[in-house]
Chain A
Amino acid sequence: MSALLEVQDIHTYIGQFHILEGVSLAANEGEVTVMLGRNGAGKTTTLRSILGLTPPRSGSIRFAGKEIGGLPTYSVAQLGIGYVPEDRGIFTDLTVEENLKIAERAKGDLDRKADLVFGLFPDLKRLYRLKGGQLSGGQQQMLAMARALVPDNRLLLIDEPTKGLAPVIVEKVMETIHQLKETVTVLLVEQNFFVASDIGDRCYILDVGRTVHTGAMADLERDEALVQRYLGAVA
Protein backbone atom coordinates (compact mmCIF):
# COMPACT_ATOMS: atom_id res chain seq x y z
CA MET A 1 0.00 0.00 0.00
CA SER A 2 1.48 3.35 -1.01
CA ALA A 3 1.31 6.62 0.85
CA LEU A 4 -0.94 9.16 -0.83
CA LEU A 5 0.19 11.89 1.53
CA GLU A 6 3.61 12.10 3.11
CA VAL A 7 4.52 14.78 5.61
CA GLN A 8 8.23 14.91 6.49
CA ASP A 9 9.49 16.79 9.52
CA ILE A 10 7.53 20.01 9.06
CA HIS A 11 8.09 23.07 11.23
CA THR A 12 5.35 25.68 11.33
CA TYR A 13 5.32 29.05 13.05
CA ILE A 14 2.31 31.18 13.85
CA GLY A 15 3.65 34.65 14.43
CA GLN A 16 6.75 34.04 16.53
CA PHE A 17 5.40 30.85 18.02
CA HIS A 18 7.00 27.61 16.96
CA ILE A 19 3.87 25.47 16.82
CA LEU A 20 5.01 22.41 14.88
CA GLU A 21 8.50 21.26 15.80
CA GLY A 22 8.88 18.29 13.54
CA VAL A 23 5.67 16.54 12.50
CA SER A 24 5.92 13.56 10.20
CA LEU A 25 3.10 11.35 9.06
CA ALA A 26 1.79 9.45 6.10
CA ALA A 27 -1.71 8.60 4.95
CA ASN A 28 -2.03 5.42 2.93
CA GLU A 29 -4.42 5.23 0.03
CA GLY A 30 -7.78 3.79 1.01
CA GLU A 31 -7.19 3.96 4.73
CA VAL A 32 -8.38 6.10 7.60
CA THR A 33 -5.35 7.59 9.32
CA VAL A 34 -6.04 9.09 12.71
CA MET A 35 -4.11 11.89 14.37
CA LEU A 36 -4.42 11.84 18.14
CA GLY A 37 -3.08 14.13 20.82
CA ARG A 38 -4.04 16.50 23.57
CA ASN A 39 -5.45 19.97 22.99
CA GLY A 40 -2.75 22.20 21.59
CA ALA A 41 -0.60 19.32 20.37
CA GLY A 42 -0.65 20.77 16.86
CA LYS A 43 -3.19 18.54 15.11
CA THR A 44 -5.21 21.33 13.52
CA THR A 45 -2.05 23.25 12.60
CA THR A 46 -0.78 20.11 10.86
CA LEU A 47 -3.93 20.00 8.71
CA ARG A 48 -3.65 23.72 8.03
CA SER A 49 0.01 23.33 7.09
CA ILE A 50 -0.84 20.62 4.58
CA LEU A 51 -3.41 22.98 3.04
CA GLY A 52 -0.98 25.90 2.94
CA LEU A 53 -3.14 27.99 5.27
CA THR A 54 -0.23 28.15 7.72
CA PRO A 55 2.67 27.24 5.41
CA PRO A 56 5.50 25.38 7.15
CA ARG A 57 8.93 27.03 7.19
CA SER A 58 10.76 23.80 6.59
CA GLY A 59 10.09 20.16 5.85
CA SER A 60 8.33 18.52 2.96
CA ILE A 61 4.75 17.68 2.12
CA ARG A 62 4.17 15.30 -0.77
CA PHE A 63 0.79 14.46 -2.22
CA ALA A 64 0.49 11.74 -4.86
CA GLY A 65 4.24 11.94 -5.36
CA LYS A 66 4.31 15.69 -5.89
CA GLU A 67 5.79 18.27 -3.52
CA ILE A 68 2.96 20.60 -2.45
CA GLY A 69 4.68 22.57 0.31
CA GLY A 70 4.67 26.26 -0.63
CA LEU A 71 1.72 26.02 -3.03
CA PRO A 72 -1.14 28.45 -2.46
CA THR A 73 -4.15 26.91 -0.71
CA TYR A 74 -6.39 26.89 -3.76
CA SER A 75 -3.77 24.98 -5.77
CA VAL A 76 -3.41 22.38 -3.03
CA ALA A 77 -7.17 21.93 -2.98
CA GLN A 78 -7.34 21.62 -6.76
CA LEU A 79 -4.98 18.64 -6.64
CA GLY A 80 -7.75 16.73 -4.89
CA ILE A 81 -7.66 17.52 -1.20
CA GLY A 82 -10.89 18.33 0.62
CA TYR A 83 -11.09 19.99 4.03
CA VAL A 84 -13.72 19.60 6.72
CA PRO A 85 -12.64 22.08 9.41
CA GLU A 86 -13.42 21.82 13.07
CA ASP A 87 -15.94 24.65 12.90
CA ARG A 88 -17.37 23.00 9.73
CA GLY A 89 -16.91 26.17 7.68
CA ILE A 90 -20.50 26.21 6.47
CA PHE A 91 -21.52 29.40 4.67
CA THR A 92 -24.49 30.36 6.82
CA ASP A 93 -25.91 32.81 4.29
CA LEU A 94 -25.84 30.33 1.43
CA THR A 95 -28.45 27.60 0.97
CA VAL A 96 -27.53 23.95 1.39
CA GLU A 97 -27.62 23.66 -2.38
CA GLU A 98 -25.25 26.61 -2.79
CA ASN A 99 -22.93 25.25 -0.11
CA LEU A 100 -22.60 22.12 -2.24
CA LYS A 101 -22.49 23.90 -5.60
CA ILE A 102 -19.70 26.24 -4.60
CA ALA A 103 -17.45 23.22 -4.14
CA GLU A 104 -17.81 22.21 -7.81
CA ARG A 105 -14.44 22.28 -9.52
CA ALA A 106 -15.87 21.35 -12.90
CA LYS A 107 -19.35 22.16 -14.12
CA GLY A 108 -21.79 19.40 -13.23
CA ASP A 109 -19.73 17.92 -10.39
CA LEU A 110 -22.72 17.95 -8.07
CA ASP A 111 -24.97 16.15 -10.57
CA ARG A 112 -22.27 13.58 -11.15
CA LYS A 113 -21.78 13.00 -7.44
CA ALA A 114 -25.46 13.20 -6.51
CA ASP A 115 -25.80 9.43 -5.93
CA LEU A 116 -22.75 9.33 -3.66
CA VAL A 117 -23.57 12.51 -1.74
CA PHE A 118 -27.27 11.93 -1.22
CA GLY A 119 -26.68 8.20 -0.68
CA LEU A 120 -24.49 9.02 2.29
CA PHE A 121 -26.47 12.04 3.43
CA PRO A 122 -30.12 11.55 2.42
CA ASP A 123 -31.25 14.26 4.89
CA LEU A 124 -29.60 16.99 2.82
CA LYS A 125 -32.24 16.50 0.11
CA ARG A 126 -34.92 17.57 2.55
CA LEU A 127 -32.86 20.55 3.74
CA TYR A 128 -31.83 21.61 0.22
CA ARG A 129 -33.45 25.05 0.23
CA LEU A 130 -32.58 26.00 3.81
CA LYS A 131 -29.71 28.33 4.59
CA GLY A 132 -26.59 26.86 6.12
CA GLY A 133 -27.18 28.90 9.25
CA GLN A 134 -30.54 27.23 9.85
CA LEU A 135 -29.05 23.75 10.19
CA SER A 136 -28.24 22.01 13.47
CA GLY A 137 -24.65 21.20 14.37
CA GLY A 138 -25.00 17.61 13.22
CA GLN A 139 -26.61 18.67 9.94
CA GLN A 140 -23.82 21.17 9.35
CA GLN A 141 -21.27 18.42 9.91
CA MET A 142 -23.01 16.25 7.32
CA LEU A 143 -23.10 19.17 4.89
CA ALA A 144 -19.41 19.91 5.43
CA MET A 145 -18.49 16.31 4.63
CA ALA A 146 -20.87 16.20 1.69
CA ARG A 147 -19.33 19.39 0.32
CA ALA A 148 -15.88 17.82 0.44
CA LEU A 149 -17.18 14.94 -1.68
CA VAL A 150 -18.61 17.07 -4.49
CA PRO A 151 -15.35 17.54 -6.43
CA ASP A 152 -13.08 14.61 -7.28
CA ASN A 153 -11.09 14.63 -4.07
CA ARG A 154 -8.68 11.81 -3.30
CA LEU A 155 -7.94 12.85 0.26
CA LEU A 156 -10.15 14.35 2.94
CA LEU A 157 -8.74 16.17 5.95
CA ILE A 158 -11.37 15.97 8.65
CA ASP A 159 -10.90 17.88 11.90
CA GLU A 160 -12.77 16.65 14.99
CA PRO A 161 -16.04 15.85 13.29
CA THR A 162 -17.73 14.62 16.46
CA LYS A 163 -16.99 17.65 18.60
CA GLY A 164 -20.06 19.00 20.33
CA LEU A 165 -22.43 16.47 18.80
CA ALA A 166 -24.92 14.26 20.63
CA PRO A 167 -23.84 10.58 21.00
CA VAL A 168 -26.42 9.32 18.50
CA ILE A 169 -25.09 11.72 15.88
CA VAL A 170 -21.47 10.90 16.70
CA GLU A 171 -22.29 7.31 15.83
CA LYS A 172 -23.80 8.38 12.53
CA VAL A 173 -20.85 10.59 11.61
CA MET A 174 -18.42 7.78 12.35
CA GLU A 175 -20.42 5.30 10.35
CA THR A 176 -20.32 7.72 7.43
CA ILE A 177 -16.54 8.12 7.64
CA HIS A 178 -16.26 4.35 7.68
CA GLN A 179 -18.25 4.24 4.46
CA LEU A 180 -16.11 7.00 2.97
CA LYS A 181 -13.15 4.64 2.98
CA GLU A 182 -14.51 3.04 -0.16
CA THR A 183 -14.24 6.35 -2.02
CA VAL A 184 -11.45 8.42 -0.52
CA THR A 185 -8.46 8.37 1.77
CA VAL A 186 -9.09 10.06 5.10
CA LEU A 187 -6.79 11.87 7.50
CA LEU A 188 -8.81 12.34 10.65
CA VAL A 189 -8.19 14.37 13.77
CA GLU A 190 -10.17 12.91 16.64
CA GLN A 191 -10.03 13.54 20.37
CA ASN A 192 -12.36 10.72 21.28
CA PHE A 193 -10.11 7.68 21.56
CA PHE A 194 -12.91 5.12 21.48
CA VAL A 195 -14.40 6.64 18.37
CA ALA A 196 -10.98 6.82 16.71
CA SER A 197 -10.05 3.26 17.54
CA ASP A 198 -13.28 2.06 15.94
CA ILE A 199 -12.54 3.36 12.48
CA GLY A 200 -8.81 4.11 12.33
CA ASP A 201 -6.37 1.92 10.42
CA ARG A 202 -3.15 3.68 11.38
CA CYS A 203 -2.59 6.29 13.99
CA TYR A 204 -0.15 9.03 14.85
CA ILE A 205 0.15 10.68 18.20
CA LEU A 206 1.24 14.30 18.36
CA ASP A 207 2.58 15.90 21.50
CA VAL A 208 3.74 19.51 21.78
CA GLY A 209 4.20 19.86 18.06
CA ARG A 210 5.98 16.59 17.40
CA THR A 211 5.06 13.16 16.17
CA VAL A 212 5.75 10.90 19.15
CA HIS A 213 4.16 7.64 18.08
CA THR A 214 3.31 5.84 14.87
CA GLY A 215 1.62 2.53 14.53
CA ALA A 216 -1.42 0.45 13.73
CA MET A 217 -4.56 1.55 15.54
CA ALA A 218 -5.10 -1.98 16.81
CA ASP A 219 -1.71 -2.03 18.52
CA LEU A 220 -2.31 1.27 20.24
CA GLU A 221 -5.50 -0.03 21.77
CA ARG A 222 -3.44 -2.66 23.62
CA ASP A 223 -0.72 -0.25 24.76
CA GLU A 224 -2.35 1.26 27.81
CA ALA A 225 0.81 2.92 29.09
CA LEU A 226 1.32 4.85 25.86
CA VAL A 227 -2.28 5.92 25.72
CA GLN A 228 -2.09 7.03 29.31
CA ARG A 229 1.06 9.01 28.72
CA TYR A 230 0.02 11.03 25.70
CA LEU A 231 -3.73 11.06 25.72
CA GLY A 232 -4.55 11.04 29.40
CA ALA A 233 -6.92 8.79 31.27
CA VAL A 234 -9.08 7.32 28.57
CA ALA A 235 -8.69 3.58 29.00
Chain B
Amino acid sequence: MTLETLVNIGLQGLTMGMLFFLIASGLSLIFGLMDVLNFAHGSFFMIGAYVAWATFDGTAAIIPFSDLRFAIALVAGALAGGGVGALTEWGLIRPLYKRPIFQILMTLGLAYVLTEVVKVVWGASGHSMARPESLSRAVDFLGRPFPAYRLFIIALGLAILLVVSVLLQRSRLGMIIRAGVENGEMVQTLGINVRRVFTLVFTLGAALAALGGAAAAPFVGIYPEIGLEYQLSAFVVVVIGGMGSFAGSAVASILVGLARAFADYQLSPLVAQAIIVAVMAVVLLLKPEGIFGAKKGGGL
Protein backbone atom coordinates (compact mmCIF):
# COMPACT_ATOMS: atom_id res chain seq x y z
CA MET B 1 0.00 0.00 0.00
CA THR B 2 1.50 3.30 -1.04
CA LEU B 3 1.41 6.40 1.11
CA GLU B 4 -1.18 8.07 -1.08
CA THR B 5 -3.52 5.10 -0.92
CA LEU B 6 -3.05 5.12 2.83
CA VAL B 7 -3.95 8.79 3.03
CA ASN B 8 -6.88 8.29 0.72
CA ILE B 9 -8.35 5.43 2.71
CA GLY B 10 -7.65 7.37 5.90
CA LEU B 11 -9.70 10.28 4.60
CA GLN B 12 -12.50 7.94 3.61
CA GLY B 13 -12.45 6.42 7.07
CA LEU B 14 -12.62 9.89 8.60
CA THR B 15 -15.61 10.74 6.41
CA MET B 16 -17.48 7.69 7.54
CA GLY B 17 -16.37 8.23 11.13
CA MET B 18 -17.84 11.73 11.12
CA LEU B 19 -21.22 10.42 9.96
CA PHE B 20 -21.13 7.80 12.72
CA PHE B 21 -20.18 10.51 15.18
CA LEU B 22 -23.17 12.68 14.29
CA ILE B 23 -25.54 9.84 15.18
CA ALA B 24 -23.58 8.28 18.03
CA SER B 25 -22.90 11.46 20.01
CA GLY B 26 -26.60 12.13 20.54
CA LEU B 27 -27.35 8.48 21.18
CA SER B 28 -24.67 8.35 23.84
CA LEU B 29 -25.67 11.57 25.61
CA ILE B 30 -29.34 10.58 25.61
CA PHE B 31 -28.50 7.25 27.17
CA GLY B 32 -26.06 8.74 29.68
CA LEU B 33 -28.39 11.45 30.84
CA MET B 34 -31.81 9.91 30.52
CA ASP B 35 -31.10 6.15 30.59
CA VAL B 36 -33.11 5.94 27.38
CA LEU B 37 -31.84 3.44 24.86
CA ASN B 38 -33.19 5.15 21.77
CA PHE B 39 -33.68 2.65 18.99
CA ALA B 40 -35.40 5.32 16.91
CA HIS B 41 -32.24 7.43 16.72
CA GLY B 42 -31.36 6.16 13.26
CA SER B 43 -34.82 7.28 12.12
CA PHE B 44 -33.86 10.88 12.79
CA PHE B 45 -30.84 10.33 10.53
CA MET B 46 -33.20 8.97 7.86
CA ILE B 47 -35.64 11.87 8.26
CA GLY B 48 -32.76 14.31 7.88
CA ALA B 49 -31.69 12.62 4.65
CA TYR B 50 -35.18 12.60 3.14
CA VAL B 51 -36.12 16.13 4.15
CA ALA B 52 -32.80 17.49 2.90
CA TRP B 53 -33.26 15.73 -0.44
CA ALA B 54 -36.90 16.85 -0.77
CA THR B 55 -35.93 20.43 0.09
CA PHE B 56 -32.95 20.45 -2.27
CA ASP B 57 -34.94 19.13 -5.23
CA GLY B 58 -38.17 20.91 -4.35
CA THR B 59 -36.61 24.37 -4.31
CA ALA B 60 -34.70 23.91 -7.57
CA ALA B 61 -37.20 25.99 -9.53
CA ILE B 62 -37.13 28.90 -7.07
CA ILE B 63 -33.49 29.05 -6.09
CA PRO B 64 -31.02 28.60 -8.93
CA PHE B 65 -27.89 28.54 -6.76
CA SER B 66 -27.28 24.96 -5.70
CA ASP B 67 -24.91 25.94 -2.88
CA LEU B 68 -27.59 28.05 -1.23
CA ARG B 69 -30.20 25.35 -1.77
CA PHE B 70 -27.87 22.83 -0.21
CA ALA B 71 -27.34 25.00 2.86
CA ILE B 72 -31.11 25.41 3.22
CA ALA B 73 -31.56 21.65 2.78
CA LEU B 74 -29.09 20.90 5.57
CA VAL B 75 -30.84 23.26 7.94
CA ALA B 76 -34.27 21.93 6.95
CA GLY B 77 -33.13 18.34 7.53
CA ALA B 78 -31.70 19.13 10.95
CA LEU B 79 -34.80 21.10 11.98
CA ALA B 80 -37.14 18.35 10.83
CA GLY B 81 -35.18 15.74 12.79
CA GLY B 82 -35.06 17.97 15.86
CA GLY B 83 -38.78 18.63 15.60
CA VAL B 84 -39.70 14.95 15.33
CA GLY B 85 -37.24 14.28 18.17
CA ALA B 86 -38.89 16.85 20.44
CA LEU B 87 -42.33 15.41 19.71
CA THR B 88 -41.05 11.91 20.35
CA GLU B 89 -39.63 12.81 23.76
CA TRP B 90 -42.69 14.78 24.77
CA GLY B 91 -45.36 12.44 23.50
CA LEU B 92 -43.87 8.96 23.64
CA ILE B 93 -40.82 8.81 25.91
CA ARG B 94 -41.87 11.09 28.75
CA PRO B 95 -44.94 9.10 29.83
CA LEU B 96 -42.71 6.02 30.12
CA TYR B 97 -39.81 7.23 32.31
CA LYS B 98 -40.98 4.94 35.07
CA ARG B 99 -41.12 1.95 32.69
CA PRO B 100 -37.76 1.80 30.87
CA ILE B 101 -38.43 -1.55 29.16
CA PHE B 102 -41.51 -0.04 27.53
CA GLN B 103 -39.36 2.87 26.38
CA ILE B 104 -37.08 0.50 24.50
CA LEU B 105 -40.04 -1.22 22.86
CA MET B 106 -41.58 2.13 22.06
CA THR B 107 -38.50 3.49 20.31
CA LEU B 108 -37.95 0.21 18.49
CA GLY B 109 -41.54 0.26 17.25
CA LEU B 110 -41.27 3.92 16.33
CA ALA B 111 -38.23 3.18 14.15
CA TYR B 112 -40.27 0.75 12.07
CA VAL B 113 -43.29 3.05 11.92
CA LEU B 114 -41.19 6.00 10.73
CA THR B 115 -39.54 3.80 8.10
CA GLU B 116 -42.98 2.84 6.79
CA VAL B 117 -44.19 6.45 6.87
CA VAL B 118 -41.23 7.46 4.75
CA LYS B 119 -42.03 4.67 2.28
CA VAL B 120 -45.63 5.88 2.00
CA VAL B 121 -44.60 9.48 1.43
CA TRP B 122 -41.53 9.05 -0.77
CA GLY B 123 -41.74 5.48 -2.02
CA ALA B 124 -39.92 2.30 -1.06
CA SER B 125 -37.15 2.64 -3.61
CA GLY B 126 -34.07 4.77 -3.23
CA HIS B 127 -33.34 8.27 -4.46
CA SER B 128 -30.20 10.13 -5.16
CA MET B 129 -29.38 13.70 -4.32
CA ALA B 130 -27.02 15.83 -6.37
CA ARG B 131 -24.11 17.54 -4.70
CA PRO B 132 -24.03 21.33 -4.65
CA GLU B 133 -21.89 22.85 -7.33
CA SER B 134 -18.94 23.98 -5.28
CA LEU B 135 -18.69 20.58 -3.56
CA SER B 136 -18.95 18.48 -6.73
CA ARG B 137 -15.32 18.96 -7.62
CA ALA B 138 -12.36 16.89 -6.63
CA VAL B 139 -9.54 18.54 -4.77
CA ASP B 140 -5.94 17.61 -5.06
CA PHE B 141 -4.79 15.86 -1.93
CA LEU B 142 -1.15 14.72 -1.93
CA GLY B 143 -1.22 14.41 -5.69
CA ARG B 144 -4.43 12.41 -5.82
CA PRO B 145 -7.91 13.72 -6.51
CA PHE B 146 -10.18 13.51 -3.51
CA PRO B 147 -13.89 14.40 -3.63
CA ALA B 148 -14.47 17.81 -2.07
CA TYR B 149 -17.74 16.57 -0.67
CA ARG B 150 -15.99 14.14 1.66
CA LEU B 151 -13.76 16.89 2.95
CA PHE B 152 -16.94 18.86 3.61
CA ILE B 153 -18.36 16.03 5.72
CA ILE B 154 -15.11 15.79 7.68
CA ALA B 155 -15.12 19.57 8.25
CA LEU B 156 -18.78 19.52 9.29
CA GLY B 157 -18.16 16.70 11.76
CA LEU B 158 -15.15 18.47 13.25
CA ALA B 159 -17.12 21.72 13.52
CA ILE B 160 -19.96 19.98 15.36
CA LEU B 161 -17.46 18.21 17.60
CA LEU B 162 -15.93 21.56 18.50
CA VAL B 163 -19.25 23.34 19.07
CA VAL B 164 -20.73 20.59 21.22
CA SER B 165 -17.50 20.24 23.22
CA VAL B 166 -17.50 23.94 24.00
CA LEU B 167 -21.19 23.75 24.90
CA LEU B 168 -20.57 20.83 27.25
CA GLN B 169 -17.45 22.25 28.87
CA ARG B 170 -18.18 25.95 29.02
CA SER B 171 -21.93 26.52 29.36
CA ARG B 172 -24.20 26.06 32.35
CA LEU B 173 -26.38 23.70 30.31
CA GLY B 174 -23.30 21.62 29.50
CA MET B 175 -22.34 21.51 33.16
CA ILE B 176 -25.84 20.30 34.07
CA ILE B 177 -25.68 17.64 31.34
CA ARG B 178 -22.29 16.38 32.54
CA ALA B 179 -23.52 16.32 36.14
CA GLY B 180 -26.80 14.69 35.13
CA VAL B 181 -25.03 11.88 33.30
CA GLU B 182 -23.29 11.03 36.57
CA ASN B 183 -26.11 11.60 39.09
CA GLY B 184 -29.45 12.91 37.86
CA GLU B 185 -31.07 12.66 41.26
CA MET B 186 -28.49 14.94 42.85
CA VAL B 187 -28.99 17.49 40.08
CA GLN B 188 -32.71 17.61 40.91
CA THR B 189 -32.05 18.14 44.60
CA LEU B 190 -30.13 21.27 43.59
CA GLY B 191 -33.38 22.71 42.27
CA ILE B 192 -32.83 21.95 38.58
CA ASN B 193 -35.72 20.60 36.50
CA VAL B 194 -33.95 17.67 34.88
CA ARG B 195 -36.93 16.77 32.71
CA ARG B 196 -36.63 20.03 30.83
CA VAL B 197 -32.96 19.28 30.20
CA PHE B 198 -33.98 15.81 28.95
CA THR B 199 -36.24 17.30 26.28
CA LEU B 200 -33.52 19.68 25.20
CA VAL B 201 -30.84 17.00 24.94
CA PHE B 202 -33.15 14.61 23.12
CA THR B 203 -34.06 17.33 20.62
CA LEU B 204 -30.45 18.36 20.08
CA GLY B 205 -29.37 14.74 19.71
CA ALA B 206 -32.10 14.13 17.14
CA ALA B 207 -31.14 17.29 15.25
CA LEU B 208 -27.48 16.22 15.12
CA ALA B 209 -28.43 12.79 13.77
CA ALA B 210 -30.69 14.45 11.19
CA LEU B 211 -27.89 16.81 10.20
CA GLY B 212 -25.74 13.74 9.71
CA GLY B 213 -28.41 12.20 7.51
CA ALA B 214 -28.76 15.39 5.49
CA ALA B 215 -25.02 15.55 4.95
CA ALA B 216 -24.86 11.85 4.09
CA ALA B 217 -27.68 12.02 1.54
CA PRO B 218 -25.64 13.18 -1.50
CA PHE B 219 -22.83 10.84 -0.45
CA VAL B 220 -24.51 7.49 0.21
CA GLY B 221 -27.94 7.88 -1.37
CA ILE B 222 -31.38 7.95 0.21
CA TYR B 223 -33.35 4.82 1.07
CA PRO B 224 -35.79 3.88 3.83
CA GLU B 225 -33.44 1.48 5.66
CA ILE B 226 -30.58 3.97 5.82
CA GLY B 227 -31.51 4.84 9.39
CA LEU B 228 -31.47 1.29 10.71
CA GLU B 229 -28.21 0.60 8.92
CA TYR B 230 -26.30 3.58 10.31
CA GLN B 231 -27.86 3.10 13.72
CA LEU B 232 -26.21 -0.31 14.03
CA SER B 233 -22.77 1.22 13.52
CA ALA B 234 -23.68 4.03 15.89
CA PHE B 235 -24.55 1.56 18.63
CA VAL B 236 -21.22 -0.16 18.12
CA VAL B 237 -19.52 3.24 18.41
CA VAL B 238 -21.41 4.08 21.59
CA VAL B 239 -20.51 0.77 23.22
CA ILE B 240 -16.83 1.12 22.27
CA GLY B 241 -16.65 4.74 23.36
CA GLY B 242 -18.52 4.21 26.60
CA MET B 243 -22.21 4.86 27.04
CA GLY B 244 -22.78 8.46 28.04
CA SER B 245 -19.35 9.73 27.06
CA PHE B 246 -19.27 12.43 24.39
CA ALA B 247 -15.48 12.30 24.02
CA GLY B 248 -15.69 8.53 23.83
CA SER B 249 -18.20 8.61 21.00
CA ALA B 250 -15.96 11.02 19.07
CA VAL B 251 -12.87 8.84 19.40
CA ALA B 252 -14.73 5.59 18.79
CA SER B 253 -16.48 7.03 15.69
CA ILE B 254 -13.16 7.81 14.07
CA LEU B 255 -11.78 4.44 15.13
CA VAL B 256 -14.74 2.57 13.67
CA GLY B 257 -14.74 4.72 10.52
CA LEU B 258 -11.08 3.97 9.89
CA ALA B 259 -11.52 0.26 10.62
CA ARG B 260 -14.39 0.20 8.14
CA ALA B 261 -12.46 1.99 5.42
CA PHE B 262 -9.35 -0.15 5.66
CA ALA B 263 -11.32 -3.39 5.83
CA ASP B 264 -13.48 -2.24 2.89
CA TYR B 265 -10.34 -1.69 0.85
CA GLN B 266 -8.41 -4.79 1.87
CA LEU B 267 -11.27 -7.24 2.21
CA SER B 268 -14.95 -6.63 1.49
CA PRO B 269 -17.73 -4.42 2.89
CA LEU B 270 -19.40 -7.41 4.48
CA VAL B 271 -16.23 -8.45 6.26
CA ALA B 272 -15.71 -4.82 7.24
CA GLN B 273 -19.03 -4.75 9.06
CA ALA B 274 -18.07 -7.94 10.88
CA ILE B 275 -14.70 -6.48 11.85
CA ILE B 276 -16.38 -3.55 13.56
CA VAL B 277 -18.44 -5.90 15.67
CA ALA B 278 -15.25 -7.84 16.44
CA VAL B 279 -13.58 -4.62 17.61
CA MET B 280 -16.57 -4.02 19.85
CA ALA B 281 -16.29 -7.52 21.29
CA VAL B 282 -12.60 -6.99 22.08
CA VAL B 283 -13.31 -3.67 23.79
CA LEU B 284 -16.12 -5.23 25.80
CA LEU B 285 -13.87 -8.07 26.92
CA LEU B 286 -10.95 -5.86 27.89
CA LYS B 287 -12.81 -2.79 29.13
CA PRO B 288 -16.54 -3.46 29.50
CA GLU B 289 -17.39 0.14 30.34
CA GLY B 290 -15.95 1.31 27.01
CA ILE B 291 -12.85 3.40 26.35
CA PHE B 292 -14.20 6.50 28.07
CA GLY B 293 -16.87 4.72 30.10
CA ALA B 294 -18.90 6.87 32.44
CA LYS B 295 -18.49 5.90 36.08
CA LYS B 296 -22.00 4.75 36.62
CA GLY B 297 -21.36 2.16 33.90
CA GLY B 298 -24.44 2.10 31.73
CA GLY B 299 -25.85 -1.41 31.89
CA LEU B 300 -24.94 -2.43 28.33
A21 contacts B by Cβ under 8 Å: no
Chain B residues whose CB sits within 8 angstroms of the CB of A208 once the complex forms: none
Residue from the list A53, A98, A103 in contact with B190, Cβ < 8 A: A103
Q: In the complex the two chains form, what is the Cα distance from A105 to B175 in whole Å?
A: 14
Q: Name the segment of B13-21, B176-184, B252-260 touching the other chain.
A: B176-184
Least CB distance, B203 to chain A, in whole angstroms: 20
Q: Return 29 A-B CB contacts under 8 Å, by A number.
A: A51-B189, A53-B185, A53-B188, A53-B189, A72-B188, A74-B189, A74-B190, A74-B192, A74-B193, A74-B194, A77-B188, A77-B189, A78-B191, A83-B186, A85-B186, A89-B185, A91-B179, A91-B182, A91-B183, A92-B182, A93-B295, A94-B175, A98-B179, A101-B172, A102-B187, A102-B190, A102-B192, A103-B190, A151-B190
Asked if A93 and B182 make an inter-chain contact with CB atoms under 8 angstroms apart, the answer reads yes
Asked if B175 and A98 make an inter-chain contact with CB atoms under 8 angstroms apart, the answer reads yes
Most A-side CB within 10 Å, residue of B178, B179, B190, B192: B190
A197 contacts B by Cβ under 8 Å: no
Most B-side CB within 10 Å, residue of A74, A103, A133: A74
A58 contacts B by Cβ under 8 Å: no
Asked if B183 and A94 make an inter-chain contact with CB atoms under 8 angstroms apart, the answer reads no
Question: Which residues, 78 to 95 on A, are CB-close (under 8 Å) to B?
Answer: 78, 83, 85, 89, 91-94
Q: In the complex the two chains form, what is the Cα distance from A122 to B293 in whole Å?
A: 33
A44 contacts B by Cβ under 8 Å: no
A8 contacts B by Cβ under 8 Å: no
Chain B residues whose CB sits within 8 angstroms of the CB of A102 once the complex forms: 172, 175-176, 179, 187, 190, 192
Tell me whether chain B's interface is mostly helix, strand or loop, or mixed: helix
The total of chain B residues at the interface (CB under 8 A) is 18
Chain A residues whose CB sits within 8 angstroms of the CB of B176 once the complex forms: 102
Least CB distance, A208 to chain B, in whole angstroms: 25
6 nearest A-B pairs in the assembled complex, by CB-CB distance: A77-B191, A89-B186, A73-B188, A83-B189, A78-B191, A91-B179
Chain A residues whose CB sits within 8 angstroms of the CB of B190 once the complex forms: 74, 77, 102-103, 147, 151
Least CB distance, B172 to chain A, in whole angstroms: 8
Identity of the chain A residue whose Cβ is nearest the Cβ of B191 in the assembled complex: A77
Q: In the complex the two chains form, what is the Cα distance from A89 to B179 in whole Å?
A: 10
Identity of the chain A residue whose Cβ is nearest the Cβ of B295 in the assembled complex: A92
Least CB distance, A134 to chain B, in whole angstroms: 13
Least CB distance, A128 to chain B, in whole angstroms: 15
Least CB distance, A8 to chain B, in whole angstroms: 22
Known: A89-B186, A91-B183. A105 touches B178 (CB 8 A): no
Least CB distance, A86 to chain B, in whole angstroms: 12
Question: Which residues, 86 to 142 on A, are CB-close (under 8 Å) to B?
Answer: 89, 91-94, 98, 101-103, 105, 133
